Amino acid sequence: MTDIAKLAETVDEAAQSATAIAQLTFADPDLSGTAAYAIQRASIARRLGRGERLVGMKMGLTSRAKMAQVGVDEMVWGRLTDKMRIEDGGAISRAKFIHPRAEPEIAFLMGRRLEGAVSPAEAMAAVEAVAAAIEVIDSRYENFKFTFPDVVADNSSSSAFAVGPWASPYTDVGNLGMVMEIDGRAKQIGSSAAILGHPARSLAAAARLLAEEGMALEEGWIVLAGGATAAEPLSPGMHVRLVAQGLGQVAFSVGA
Amino acid sequence: MSKEKNIEEAARRLRTAWETGVPCDPVRDLIGETDVEAAYAVQNINTEHWLKAGRRLVGRKTGLTARAVQKQLGVDQPDYGMLFADMDVPEGEEISLARIMQPKVEAEIAFVIGDDLNDDQLTTADLLRSIEFAVAAIEIVGSRVAGWNIRIADTVADNASSGLFVLGHEPRRLGEFDPRMCGMVMEKRGEPVSVGSGAACLGSPISATLWLARVMAKVGRPLLEGDVVLSGALGPMAPAAPGDVFEARIEGLGSVRAAFAAD
């Protein structure tokens, strides 16, 4: 019998102390996806108990390339709390992470609640604004290695995020050029089309996946639709900037 | 054999492969793996041959415009090849596999030149003034070398592995789209097979084209009014199989399709 509370404590403490842990599936090879989402829920509940606030969710593994890179063949999602926010133009401390990587993303701001099976068009009708965003992923597992239940239990590797200025929800985010720079040099170049062919599909998938857990995308939530390119490892001293076609920029720096 | 003889022999080997449709061995055994100058000499022999045979030169292509691809081939600059009129495939026409060897597709921005660029000291301003319009394009690259077993000298000698190209039908002037930040997605059966952006092409397709225009002026084949420039891939290349249909969309520049015959 999987001890949800105990495992939630394990991943929560790993995140809090920035200490890598062994994959949960090493000790429990039969860990199910359902149990993994329960662990995620319980570990984030611990954060909420410490005063953090739920502000949205993130989608992960939203491209075949990404799925192939980590060897997991399903989309995953995780929760975003206010403590994970990085101010646009602000800084993060490298020491608070284990092996952080930055990913260029598209963010949606929900103008109203969205629940269950919806089409991408219906999903977009609930969006109040769109923006360029950078997610910092930081798997709590050693060597950034995991299986599907591992990554889900670990809040889908999510650890921090920065969102740029909000733009009109009528902006077509289907195929925007995305250039992520480190210290002014382009390191990752791609298009928002890498996100399931169109980020709106990821938003619709988000509503569907949340419904499986009895949840909905709530009004005012931020949804990160998934990485548009491979992720870039972060080290102290780096300045990270994402420019997205027509959406402007979002940036932060990495301190010690 | 003398170096000249080897260069002639390499040109003949590649030409024979092109004419017969049977891929050949690499030519690096004849001209060396890294001798780019000798490789362009090989390319030039075949260009002259084809011009004499009546093929019409209608443009150039820039290749190796992605840093990752340059690294793979151990070079730090792009390469170029000649585009002939018979390589232009009208959109909507099925591409017979007999016309192309070991095809792969790349999505690019094609520029059409409005003024002769016959000056050995060209600037960005000269180029921006002279571009008449741009269209989305799919380049169908092919290698005459069996199994794409190429090093830098092989691909340069082989006309930069150029094959065919399809131009889109929505010409845009500069200022009407963003050549550097434009998103690109190329799909097959609704799945993205390549995604990227203008910045993936040497920082900007304009920079790649300026490199080309300068080199072309220097080697005596300047870009002239009406010439087509395939400026370089905006994302990774994708292999093409019989029956495949690709659509490339470049944000702000429209779309273009390449359809391969089923057999």
* Per-residue confidence (pLDDT) for residue A68, from 0 to 100: 82
Average pLDDT over residues B223-252: 97
* Per-residue confidence (pLDDT) for residue A245, from 0 to 100: 98
B185 to chain A: which residues are within 8 Å by CB?
175, 191, 193-194, 197
% of residues, chain A, pLDDT over 90: 95
B232 to chain A: which residues are within 8 Å by CB?
none
Task: Verify whether the Cβ–Cβ distance B178 to A191 is below 8 Å.
Answer: no
Cβ contacts of B176 within 8 Å, gap of 6 or more: B252
Average pLDDT over residues A216-233: 97
Q: How far is B235 from chain A (nearest CA, A)?
A: 8
- For residue A83, the cross-strand partners are none
pTM here is 0.94
pLDDT band at residue A65 under the 50/70/90 scheme: confident
pLDDT tens-digit profile of B96-106?
Answer: 988 999 999 99
Q: Which of B191, B199, B249 lies at the smallest CB-CB distance from A175?
A: B249
Average pLDDT over residues B122-147: 98
Cβ proximity of B110 and B231 under 8 Å: yes
Average pLDDT over residues B152-172: 98
Q: How far is A233 from chain B (nearest CA, A)?
A: 18
A177 to chain B: which residues are within 8 Å by CB?
178, 180-184, 197-199, 251
B194 to chain A: which residues are within 8 Å by CB?
none
* Per-residue confidence (pLDDT) for residue A67, from 0 to 100: 85
Average pLDDT over residues A117-134: 98
Q: Over chain A, what is the mean pLDDT?
A: 96
Question: What's the complex ipTM?
Answer: 0.90
Give the whole-angstrom CA distance, residue A40 versus residue A49.
14
SS3 state of residue B8: helix
Q: Does A191 touch chain B (CB under 8 A)?
A: yes
A184 to chain B: which residues are within 8 Å by CB?
none
Residue A56 belongs to what domain range? 4-255
Average pLDDT over residues B92-121: 95
Cβ proximity of A50 and A162 under 8 Å: no
What does each C-alpha distance from B30 to A84, B5, B26, B33, B45 come to in angstroms? 60, 9, 9, 9, 15
Task: Verify whether the Cβ–Cβ distance B195 to A176 is below 8 Å.
Answer: no
CATH number at residue A164: 3.90.850.10
% of residues, chain B, pLDDT over 90: 95
pLDDT tens-digit profile of A159-193?
Answer: 999 999 999 999 999 999 999 999 999 999 999 99
What element of type H or E holds A218? Answer: none
> Which residue is listed with tokens 């076609």?
A245
In a mutagenesis test of the A interface, which of B191, B193, B195, B202 is the best target, namely the one with the most A β-carbons within 10 Å?
B195
pLDDT at A1 over 80: no
B57-260: CATH homologous superfamily?
Fumarylacetoacetase-like, C-terminal domain (3.90.850.10)
Question: Which residue does chain B place closest to A243, by CA atoms?
Answer: B181
Tally of domains in chain A: 1
Q: Which of B185, B195, B199 lies at the smallest CB-CB distance from A186?
A: B199
Q: Over chain B, what is the mean pLDDT?
A: 97
Cβ proximity of B247 and B186 under 8 Å: yes
pLDDT at B1 over 80: no
Give the lowest-confidence range in A72-76, B60-64, B222-226.
Answer: A72-76
* Per-residue confidence (pLDDT) for residue A127, from 0 to 100: 98
pLDDT tens-digit profile of B203-230?
Answer: 999 999 999 999 999 999 999 999 999 9
* Per-residue confidence (pLDDT) for residue B212, from 0 to 100: 98
Written as one string, the DSSP assignment of B225-237 is TT-EEEEEESS--
Question: Which residue does chain A place closest to B250, by CA atoms?
Answer: A175
Domain ranges of chain B: 57-260
Question: Which residue does chain A place closest to B251, by CA atoms?
Answer: A175
* Per-residue confidence (pLDDT) for residue B259, from 0 to 100: 97
Report the side by side order of strands in the sheet with A91-93. A91-93, A248-255, A239-244, A177-182, A185-191
Average pLDDT over residues B164-186: 98
Compute chain B's Rg from CA coordinates: 17
pLDDT tens-digit profile of A87-104?
Answer: 999 999 999 999 999 999
pLDDT band at residue B51 under the 50/70/90 scheme: very high
Average pLDDT over residues B80-87: 98
Q: Does A188 touch chain B (CB under 8 A)?
A: no
